[in-house]
Amino acid sequence: MLLGVAVALLGCPTFDIVLQAFDASPPKYLAAAIIDIALRIEFGSGRQHNIMASTESAATDFSHVIDWTEAMEQCGDDEDFLRELLSDLRGEIDAQIVKIDAVLEKPTNDQSFLSIMRASHVIKGASSNLMCQQLREGATNVEQAAEEANALSMEDRDSEKLEEAAKKVKEKYADLMKAVENYHKFLESVGV
């Protein structure tokens, strides 16, 4: 009864259908009706559809950047919370990129590749939690290349092996930067 009154008060055009479905199978349709009511209360009738549709559309266009459905599930289907986390991720990525740039510009000691490993590991973990596959893959590749370079013995560090290892790190880093650029474009497209 309360559900029927709430739906009617909100002007739901499918009032009779929702009631019939609710009477027929309460568990299956109760969640959908409650979600609809909550969205209407929070956003007003119709507005939530525009917000969600535009975000889902942008997420589809950037499916190589983020799995929006999985990310929403990670955040309990709270889009505002997800947007906040995606913004925080941007800040974290940018901070780690500054660290990697500094090391690549002027490697100072035998800890340089270790610094790159740590920074890329942070990006990998944070992007994995938010289902940002392209960032995760790019960061993983940089981390692995830096780990290989870091594993070179001191004797090998004075040879061409170090140059080759550094070149590989820079190549993987260029791929990561493409992923970062795509992530920034995605955020811009959804207004974050």
Q: What does pLDDT average to in each consecutive run of 10 residues of the chain (192 residues)?
A: 38 42 44 46 41 48 86 92 95 95 78 92 95 96 92 70 86 96 92 86
pLDDT given for residue 192 in this prediction: 85
My answer on whether 127 and 170 are in the same domain is yes
C-alpha neighbours within 13 Å on the C-beta side of residue 103: 21
19, 100: one domain = no
Q: pTM of the entire structure?
A: 0.67
74: how many CB neighbours lie within 10 A of its CB? 16
d(CA 43, CA 117): 44
Inside any domain, residue 63: no
Tell me how far apart the alpha carbons of residues 170 and 116 are, in angstroms, rounded to a whole number: 11
Tokens 């409650």 sit at which residue? 34
Find the domain containing 99 and state its range. 68-189
| Per-residue pLDDT at 61 | 67
Maximum distance among all Cα pairs of the chain, rounded to whole angstroms: 80
Residue 108: the pLDDT is 60
Question: Distance between alpha carbon 180 and the CA centroid of its chain, in Å?
Answer: 11
